[in-house]
Amino acid sequence: MLSGLSIRNVVLIEALDLDFKTGLTALTGETGAGKSIILDALSMATGARSEKGLVRSGTDKAQCTASFDLSTDHPVWRVLKNADFEVDGSRELILRRVISADGRSKAYVNDTPVSIRLLSELGEQLVEVHGQHDGRGLLDPSQHIVMLDNFGGYTREIQDVVKAHGDRQAALEAYEDLKTRAEKAENDRDYFSYALEELDRLDVSAGEEADLASRRRFLQGAESALQELTAAENAMGGGEYEARVATALAGIEQVRSKIGDTDEAAVTALGGAAEALERALLEAQEARQAISEAAAIFDLQPGELDRTEQRLFAIKAACRKYDVSAEALIDKRREFAENLSLIENIGSAVSEAQIRADKAEADYKLAADKLTKARVKAATKLEKAVLKELPDLKMDKARFVSEVAEGTPTAKGQDKVRFTVATNPGSAMGPMDKVASGGELARFALAIKVALAGRQDKVMIFDEVDQGVGGAVASAIGQRLQRLSENGQVFIVTHSPQVAACAHNQYRIEKASKAKSTTTSVTPVAANEREEEIARMLAGETITDEARAAARQLMKAS
């Protein structure tokens, strides 16, 4: 609900802070007192188009703030979430709009700057104004299908259409995608065949490029390494070193045999020398063998480097040609093979996809036809309900039709729904805002809203719905407004005491002039003052006892 409205420097209002309650609230006052300014301010706060002319003369800016206390499942939270606006789970929503004297405008939601567009989207979910002042809701044809569906209550049919539409879209997209791919593949048949043959000849294996690059680096250094190893082997003397060591060892053995074991120190020394020579001989042999084995590794077949480079360069050339990595060449080959396979099976593949698309289309049509029948039935029921309300609203000659016509197939079905009216016998049916006057428009809106009934997520404002009527008709309007307020917050701008008497809350709007300025004030009418205020509306300047009695009777009857 709208819990508060704060206005600063808007036309005749210098500063005004209002708190509102649930139920039906009447805004009353003399003609020209400024009741429309309140609606202008609320419209400004909720993103409606506003002009710089709203800025109070002599000030640099106008500001309006509307505070709402909303249920946690109110549609407005979804709008905020879709706009990536952080929602903290609070029930309070504060919309603020500032318009400067030069026409610039700023918008805020919970003190966070937002676009005027987002503010307007929020306002469309929060407020409906019916009458001469504005036309959010019923005057937007796109909302008529939503209202009819809510009235009809055929949730299952709607869900079936949503699902069928999703399946239909998926099947059509799959068919179109397959057909496009097939057409392209057919045009590229020769290219795919050539490319597949080329990649088959190349026959790249996983990791081969890295292995070839590593082998190439090895081969490029192999020749130099072989020269170094050959030099090392030559340095060993080709066996001469071993021969000299062996000769030295033989000499030591001869000495050891000549002296025997006559001298312990000599025997020990000669033994150590013999062991050292034996180790040297063995290690020299092992070293020469190791050098020889290492050299054998680098003694490669002629042309291996050339063959390796040719293979590596062939793979790199294919990578550049098909604009992929070496690893992806395998996937590329598979892609070419699949495209060729698609060409070979193009007829059956496309036919199968078309069959699936046709079935999805038929399923959607079946679900949409059921929804259309449900809508036509609901439209007839709604028409009767609205027409039943019109006579008491002094519109017994008026007609209302809920048209269900063929539209573009969407997730909402295949229908286009539009509410049309005719206010006089013989006149053509047409859109409400084109056919009905301001008062008639508001009364049509009231009749439709009463017929729709149910929970109202939006604050509803009726602007002089009682224009040009009085007595029993005004009482009927007030009773319907009161009934409507049982399911949502309703405001009525009225001159009618019969309508005001039906309200749960009342505000008196007055205009006063001081020196060179004129201001508008809004005063809550206390419960114990309501009778006097309604008597004033009945009698005018001089309030009589008869007027008070009549006011008392009106309030009692309401």
* Degrees to nearest 5, angle at CA 370 with 366 and 375: 145
Neighbours of 299 (CB within 10 A): 11
Q: Average the pLDDT over each of 89-93, 129-133, 206-210 and give the range with the smallest value.
A: 129-133
Q: How far apart are CA 363 and CA 441, in angstroms?
A: 40
Q: What pLDDT score does 157 carry?
A: 96
Instruction: Tell me the pLDDT band of 476, cut-offs 50, 70 and 90.
Output: confident
Q: Are residues 233 and 295 in contact, defined by beta-carbon separation less than 8 angstroms?
A: yes
pTM: 0.65
Q: What pLDDT score does 211 carry?
A: 82
Q: What pLDDT score does 360 carry?
A: 96
Residue 410's DSSP bridge partners are 413
Q: How far apart are CA 477 and CA 465, in angstroms?
A: 8
Pairing of strands 505-514, 517-524: antiparallel
Give the closest residue to 93 by CA, choosing from 82, 79, 106. 79
Give the HSE-up count for residue 532: Cα atoms under 13 Å, Cβ half-sphere. 6
Q: Tokens 């709604």 appear where?
A: 382
Q: Are residues 420 and 431 in contact, defined by beta-carbon separation less than 8 angstroms?
A: yes
Q: Tokens 């909302």 appear where?
A: 143
For residue 182, give both structure tokens.
């097939």
Q: How far apart are CA 193 and CA 339, in angstroms?
A: 10
Instruction: Tell me the pLDDT band of 244, cut-offs 50, 70 and 90.
Output: confident
Instruction: Tell me the pLDDT band of 136, cut-offs 50, 70 and 90.
Output: low
Instruction: Tell me the pLDDT band of 133, cut-offs 50, 70 and 90.
Output: very low
In Å, what is the CA distance from 157 to each residue of 366, 367, 380? 11, 7, 18
pLDDT surpassing 50 at residue 512: yes
Give the closest residue to 405 by CA, choosing from 145, 136, 153, 139. 145
Kindly list the domain boundaries of the chain, sorted by start residue.
Answer: 207-326
